[in-house]
Amino acid sequence: MTKKIKSAEYVREVVPALKCPICGSTMQVVDLKSLLCMNRHTFDFAKQGYINMSAHSIKSNYGKGLFEARHSIIMESGLYDGMHETIAKMILRHLDVSNPLMVADLGCGEGSHLQRIIDECQCSGMTGVGLDLSKEGIVLAAKRYEDPIWIVGDLARSPLESQSFDVILNILSPSNYKEFKRILTPDGLVIKVVPGPDYLKELRESLFHQNENKVIYRNDKTVTLFKKHFQLLDSIPLRYSRKLAKAELNHLGQMTPLAWNGDKARLDEFMNQDSAEITVDLEILFGTKKNEIDPNTLGKWR
Ligand SMILES: [Zn+2]
């Protein structure tokens, strides 16, 4: 069976979770090769097994090299293992995993975090959907990881149906809280990972002079905004360091947007060290929808 057919069959099982990004109507899989909406807008499955549901294509700095480096760091160096384990534990604690669960990673890049978290949960009824605007990222995700559904798409013109996802992952990536709330099920869990003050500090310190430390991560505003939109269930700080070898430091230097603003010679120096301790400092926010007042219930008291 080709990847394209396998992916079309898989999408067919969860197609109510998708909607047309152009007109918003429901979709169906036709001939195991396209998604078709009621107004006949069509999106074809690519041979690598992903679907492009983006209305326009974008060019970004996030090229293939960056996503390959990200894959190596996430899957091989173990730098983010602590984060994956914490997220999986919280999913298992808060949701009934004996039921089928839909998990969306919004801004999934090349998909490695989503794949790792699903592996860590070990639930047979879990379906992952990875969405990213970058086609380069999604192509790599579809090539490497068969099970999740990979979609090139824009959250601002979302291909995801309302109240269809039990878990929303948003890992070190921009948020669209209005959309998160719309697509989350009433009891669903939104998980946002933000960098703490010491996140990859060794890399930042070598890229910038101490006094012009251009990127300082501060979480307070992010946490306040998150709490405005969601009921904060938990906020878990995660801080540890890992020793990375030369090849891994090289990948780290290539995968982060931090490096784009830094000094090239300093970046080379960082990547050519034999090894270095690297700090991971993250804050993981877990939220649910706030209990909004149901107008039907309200009527009783009038
Ligand atoms: Zn349509």
- In the reported structure, the alpha carbon of residue 42 is separated from the centroid of ligand 1 by a whole-number distance in angstroms of 8
Give the Cα separation of 108 and 138 in Å (integer): 8
Q: Do 127 and 102 form a contact (C-beta atoms < 8 A)? A: yes
Residue 160's SS3 state is: strand
- In the reported structure, the alpha carbon of residue 201 is separated from the centroid of ligand 1 by a whole-number distance in angstroms of 46
- For residue 136, what pLDDT is reported? 93
Whether residue 231 is predicted with pLDDT greater than 80 in this model: the reply is yes
- State the average pLDDT over residues 87-104: 95
- In the reported structure, the alpha carbon of residue 44 is separated from the centroid of ligand 1 by a whole-number distance in angstroms of 13
pLDDT tier, 292 (very low <50, low <70, confident <90, very high otherwise): low
Q: pTM for the complete prediction? A: 0.91
- For residue 18, what pLDDT is reported? 98
- In the reported structure, the alpha carbon of residue 58 is separated from the centroid of ligand 1 by a whole-number distance in angstroms of 21
Q: Among 190, 162, 192, 170, which Cα is nearest to 288's?
A: 190
- In the reported structure, the alpha carbon of residue 32 is separated from the centroid of ligand 1 by a whole-number distance in angstroms of 18
- In the reported structure, the alpha carbon of residue 144 is separated from the centroid of ligand 1 by a whole-number distance in angstroms of 30
Q: Do 176 and 156 form a contact (C-beta atoms < 8 A)? A: yes
Q: Return the higher-pLDDT residue of 100 and 301.
A: 100
Give the Cα separation of 24 and 39 in Å (integer): 9
- In the reported structure, the alpha carbon of residue 151 is separated from the centroid of ligand 1 by a whole-number distance in angstroms of 16
